[in-house]
Amino acid sequence: MYVQDNYREAADYIKSLLNITPEALIILGSGLGQVANELENSTLIPYSEIPHFKSSTAPSHMGRLVAGRLAGRDVLCMQGRLHIYEGYSPADVSFPVRVASMLGATRLVLTCACGGINTAYNVGDLVMLTDYINLTHTSPLVGMDITGFDARFVDMCHAFDREYIALAKVEAHKLDTSLADGVYFYMPGPQFETPAEIKAARILGGDLVGMSVVHEVAMARRLDMRVAGFGLVTNMAAGILDAPLTEDEIFTEGEKARIRFGGLLKQFVARM
Ligand code: HPA
């Protein structure tokens, strides 16, 4: 569990290296970290140098903050996110979100690789997250020091900002890119799901499955940040196709979607 001073020390360290006030934190998911290389006037800060930050151990997650300008906005990118399956707690995973908020960020833009549960999807589809299901009942807000907050309970009716969902649709249309809607079903991993779990998730209303997102969103909503979530269907979820799931396909699809995904993200960031 962290105390206010821990967040403050991390924020002060980052601030001492930056000459911008970030408007948004952008968290880049598996295979989607390349966008951070497009930032102008960028400053790179390895997580290992930031007080209290955990390191990224997941494959292809570089483990550094990249601060700079993207599509005319000052942003902070996490090139590599933190996951529960790395042995981290929900508080660890969402620590950077609270630090970004202290640095001035009022928006959180998430990207994630997902398995497609909804059989209307195809591998390679981009999906705007409209809601999530977290049946693990874990939360970064459990035990959080709420001094300075007016309430303990956080409304999650619009966890993903409705205006941002509409904006992303408009920008996707302009780019002639299709952008579906979907409910994100959280599974902590690191094993992929069983076909029976995916069947259950579908019955419960999940369209996409993944091993991240929910703790970052809960923290952001606690801090009143507006949230947008972009998913990429890197594979059909377990049991839908008669083929085993592999890490490789996730990275291959991420790489294939790089230009399309990056293009949409930049248009969105320009107008968010
Ligand atoms: N399951 C969980 N997480 C994922 C998947 C999946 O099928 N694909 C990409 N991330």
Residues 111-138 have pLDDT tens digits of 999 999 999 999 999 999 999 999 999 9
| Cβ count near 259 (within 10 Å) | 10
Q: Which residue's C-alpha comes closest to atom 7 of ligand 1?
A: 115
Residue nearest to atom 3 of ligand 1 (CA): 210
Q: Tens of pLDDT along 222-256?
A: 999 999 999 999 999 999 998 888 888 888 888 88
CA distance 214 to 195: 22
Query: Considering the entire predicted model, what is its pTM?
Result: 0.95
Of 209, 246, 81, nearest to 135 by C-alpha is 209
Which among 46, 51, 86, 76 has a CA at the least distance from the CA of 62?
Answer: 46
For residues 156 and 46, what is the distance between their CA atoms, to the nearest angstrom?
Answer: 32
- Write out the two tokens for 201: 């998730």
- Residue whose Cα lies nearest atom 9 of ligand 1: it is 114
Give the span between the Cα atoms of 67 and 95, in whole angstroms.
17
Using an 8 Å Cβ cutoff, are 84 and 39 in contact? Answer: no
In angstroms, rounded to a whole number, what is the distance separating the alpha carbons of residues 88 and 84?
5
Record the tokens describing residue 226, joined without a space: 């507006």
Residue whose Cα lies nearest atom 5 of ligand 1: it is 115
Question: In 3-state terms, what secondary structure has residue 115?
Answer: strand
User: Which one-letter amino acid corresponds to residue 165?
Assistant: I
Distance CA 138, CA 68 (A): 33
3-state DSSP call for residue 232?
strand
- Name the residue of 114, 214, 256 to mutate for ligand 1: max ligand atoms within 8 A of Cβ: 114
Q: Which two tokens stand for residue 37?
A: 């290389």
- The pLDDT score that the predictor gives to residue 26 is 97
Q: What one-character-per-residue DSSP string does 153-187 give?
A: ----TTSS-HHHHHHHHHHHHHTT--EEEEEEEE-
CA of 16 to the centre of ligand 1 (A): 37
Q: What is the pLDDT of residue 242?
A: 85
What residues flank ligand 1, with Cβ below 6 Å? 113-115, 187, 192-193, 209-211, 234-235, 237, 245, 250
Q: Residues near 125 by Cβ (< 8 Å), separated by ≥ 6?
A: 116, 178, 180, 232, 233
Q: Which among 79, 128, 90 is positioned nearest to 232, based on CA atoms?
A: 128
Identify whether the C-beta of residue 114 lies closer than 8 Å to the C-beta of residue 209.
yes
Q: What atom of ligand 1 comes closest to residue 211's alpha carbon?
A: 3
- pLDDT of 60: 65
pLDDT for residue 124: 93
The stretches in the chain having pLDDT less than 50 are: none
Give the pLDDT score at 122: 94
Amino acid type, 3: V
Per-residue confidence (pLDDT) for residue 61, from 0 to 100 = 64
Tokens 């923290």 identify what position?
219
